[in-house]
């Protein structure tokens, strides 16, 4: 049976488990819409193409499968770049379908005709075009396999308008991808086992690759078998619950300094680890990654393993049980001391409340099954020290690109996938301004997400070094905007609260509402931070 190109696209997506497409409408991609409607794939249209890409990224993260966005040619394709680039840095298997000018008028100046593939090549694992309608099933399936092959990442496909409108009886490839599970050689694994068994003060830092490799159970078994103090970053947050006796969050620097073996698993030695400088030169360390290209990047490990983290943790759980009670107790005392200092800061009365007070109240209002979307700079850095997490995939932040504006798009995908869970966005006020209109999208699709804005009327994370270095601030001040009234204008619920008690009560109330809700909270912009001795700014 002859089918048009849009229907062929939709059949491939359905074959690969896709149930929702994120998009912003455009004439070049209308055949894809028709195909999705015929294949019962829901079309969720956003207010900006970057939001469509962000939502598809979140869909991929939460399903650990492809997430798909479709954007129209020219400015639609260029608007989606930020979302795709952000997915690239977290190795998220986002598939971006880009409408393109017809091939039959190529080079003649068609509407929105441009070289779109060159734009995407630096920020994807693969970027290419389809030149015949009958090639759609095989090329699209090939691109999906590339996206899902570890290390995973986004792909981009150009779909010219006349190719989508053409017809073909091409068949859909019979098989979808089975994730590759590469296991290092046993000799290398046994070296790591030996290092762990002789270590008296080991420590583990585990990152996003463990989440992508579905190492949920094997990571926990490894940690418990080895009495391994564990720190988590990226998508690994929540894989060891916050109340687990071997989970630590605040004392990593001290743990690294006192350790006799550091294991870095599933995360690169990037800026978050000071390009390897966070690891003391006198402490041996091991690197484990599903991406062999990052082993030895910036600093050479004593041993490096490349392979599927689930399989590696399974093997490393066969070590002899060791008693490391003294080491764990020592770190726990340090952790509790640091935690109590943060709590003491939160108890200091400020009007408006301090960021520390805000975060303590926010954390107190959370239930264990809530999914938190972090969209901000300074407020998210503060929150990461105190937010309790109990499940994998329950904390989504931009990742190492530090891309703001993910809040509502991430929340939309998360709520669509998890209608029975509370999806709560932790916003900086600057971040809300980037994609706040996506509350319109959430309302149209009956997705009652909750946003909480920490409103200090400035870009704090940029203002701090600016004032410290130059003694004044520019381009970092905002107005104390009543953001809750913005979403009220869209038809959503809005609340303005000033005290921590009101904040806790209002978040809990918002969980009972059936519409998207935004809570706007003024916080003190001038509370001294741990690492900042503020200077008065002539511009403030």
Measuring CA to CA, how many Å separate 465 from each of 198, 429, 468, 480?
44, 19, 5, 21
Identify the pLDDT of residue 1.
78
pLDDT at residue 351 in the model: 86
Task: Tell me the two tokens of residue 207.
Answer: 């990152």
Give the pLDDT score at 245: 97
Beta bridge partners of 495: 519
Q: Residues for the chain: how many in total?
A: 540
Q: What is the pTM of this model?
A: 0.94
Domain positions in the chain are 3-168, 186-331, 348-522
Is the per-residue pLDDT at 526 higher than 80?
no
Closest listed residue to residue 406, CA positions, set 390, 440, 430, 385 = 430
pLDDT band at 179 (very low <50, low <70, confident <90, very high): low
Domain 3-168 superfamily per CATH: Thiamin diphosphate (ThDP)-binding fold, Pyr/PP domains (3.40.50.970)
Output 305 or 109, whichever has higher pLDDT: 305
Q: Compute the average pLDDT of residues 447-471.
A: 93
| Element spanning 51, H or E | helix 49-63
Mean pLDDT, rounded, for 20-26: 97
Task: Indicate whether 531 pLDDT > 50.
Answer: no
Percentage above 70 pLDDT, the chain? 96
> Quick one: pLDDT at residue 380?
92
Computed over every residue of the chain, the mean pLDDT equals: 93
pLDDT computed for residue 536 by the predictor: 34
Predicted pLDDT at 529: 47
Q: Are 14 and 3 in contact (CB under 8 A)?
A: no
Q: Is the pLDDT of residue 339 over 70?
A: yes
State the pLDDT at residue 533. 39
Tell me what pLDDT residue 411 has.
98
For residue 538, is pLDDT > 70? no
Spatial separation of the C-alpha atoms in residues 72 and 99, rounded to whole Å: 5
479 closest CA partner among 427, 522, 438: 522
Two structure tokens written together for 434: 């980037």
CATH classification of 348-522 is 3.40.50.970, yes or no? Answer: yes
pLDDT tens-digit series, residues 266-301: 999 999 999 999 999 999 999 999 999 999 899 999
- For 345-389, the three-class secondary structure string (H helix, E strand, C coil) is HHHCCCCCECHHHHHHHHHHCCCCCCEEEEECCHHHHHHCCCCCC
**186-331: CATH superfamily:** TPP-binding domain (3.40.50.1220)
In angstroms, the CA 282 to CA 278 distance is: 12
pLDDT digits (tens, 9 = 90+) for 32-63: 999 999 999 999 999 999 999 999 999 999 99
């Amino acid at each position: 049976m002859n089918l048009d190109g849009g229907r062929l696209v939709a059949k491939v997506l359905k074959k690969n488990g896709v149930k929702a497409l994120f998009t912003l409408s455009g004439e070049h991609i209308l055949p894809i819409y028709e195909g999705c409607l015929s294949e019962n794939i829901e079309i969720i249209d956003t207010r900006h193409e970057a939001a469509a890409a962000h939502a598809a990224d979140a869909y991929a993260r939460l399903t650990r499968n492809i997430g798909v966005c479709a954007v129209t040619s020219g400015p639609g394709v260029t608007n989606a770049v930020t979302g795709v680039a952000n997915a690239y840095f977290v190795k998220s298997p986002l598939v971006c379908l880009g409408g393109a000018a017809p091939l039959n008028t190529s080079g003649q100046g068609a509407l929105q005709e441009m070289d779109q593939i060159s734009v995407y090549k630096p920020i994807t694992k693969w970027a290419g075009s389809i030149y015949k309608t009958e090639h759609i099933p095989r090329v699209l399936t090939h691109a999906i396999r590339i996206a899902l092959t570890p290390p995973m990442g986004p792909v981009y496909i150009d779909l010219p308008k006349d190719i989508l409108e053409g017809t073909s009886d091409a068949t859909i490839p019979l098989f979808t991808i089975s994730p590759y599970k590469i296991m290092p050689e046993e000799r290398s694994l046994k070296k790591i086992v030996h290092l762990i068994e002789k270590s008296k003060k080991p420590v583990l830092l585990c990152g996003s690759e463990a989440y992508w490799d579905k190492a949920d159970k094997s990571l926990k078994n490894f940690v418990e078998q080895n009495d391994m103090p564990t720190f988590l970053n990226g998508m690994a947050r929540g894989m060891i619950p916050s109340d687990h006796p071997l989970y630590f969050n605040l004392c990593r620097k001290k743990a690294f300094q006192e350790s006799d073996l550091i294991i870095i698993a599933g995360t690169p030695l990037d800026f978050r680890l000071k390009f390897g400088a966070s690891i003391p030169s006198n402490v041996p360390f091991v690197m484990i990654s599903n991406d062999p290209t990052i082993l030895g990047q910036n600093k050479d490990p004593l041993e490096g393993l490349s392979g599927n983290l689930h399989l590696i943790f399974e093997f490393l759980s066969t070590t002899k049980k060791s008693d490391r009670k003294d080491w764990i107790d020592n770190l726990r005392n340090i952790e509790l001391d640091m935690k109590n200092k943060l709590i003491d800061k939160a108890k200091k009365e400020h009007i408006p409340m301090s960021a520390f007070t805000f975060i303590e109240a926010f954390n107190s209002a959370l239930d264990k099954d809530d999914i938190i979307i972090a969209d901000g700079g300074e407020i998210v850095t503060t929150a990461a020290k105190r937010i309790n997490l109990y499940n994998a995939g329950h904390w989504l932040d931009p990742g190492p690109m530090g891309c703001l504006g993910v809040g509502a798009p991430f929340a939309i995908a998360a709520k669509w996938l998890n209608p029975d869970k509370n999806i709560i966005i932790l916003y900086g006020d600057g971040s809300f301004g980037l994609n706040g209109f996506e509350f319109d999208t959430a309302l149209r699709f009956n997705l009652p997400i909750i946003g909480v804005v920490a409103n200090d009327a400035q870009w704090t994370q940029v203002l701090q070094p600016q004032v410290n270095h130059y003694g004044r601030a520019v381009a970092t001040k905002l107005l104390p905007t009543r953001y809750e009234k913005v979403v009220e204008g869209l038809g959503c619920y809005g609340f303005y609260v000033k005290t921590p008690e009101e904040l806790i009560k209002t978040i809990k109330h918002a969980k009972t509402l059936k519409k998207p809700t935004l809570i706007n909270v003024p916080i003190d912009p001038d509370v001294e931070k741990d690492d900042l001795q503020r200077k008065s700014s002539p511009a403030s």
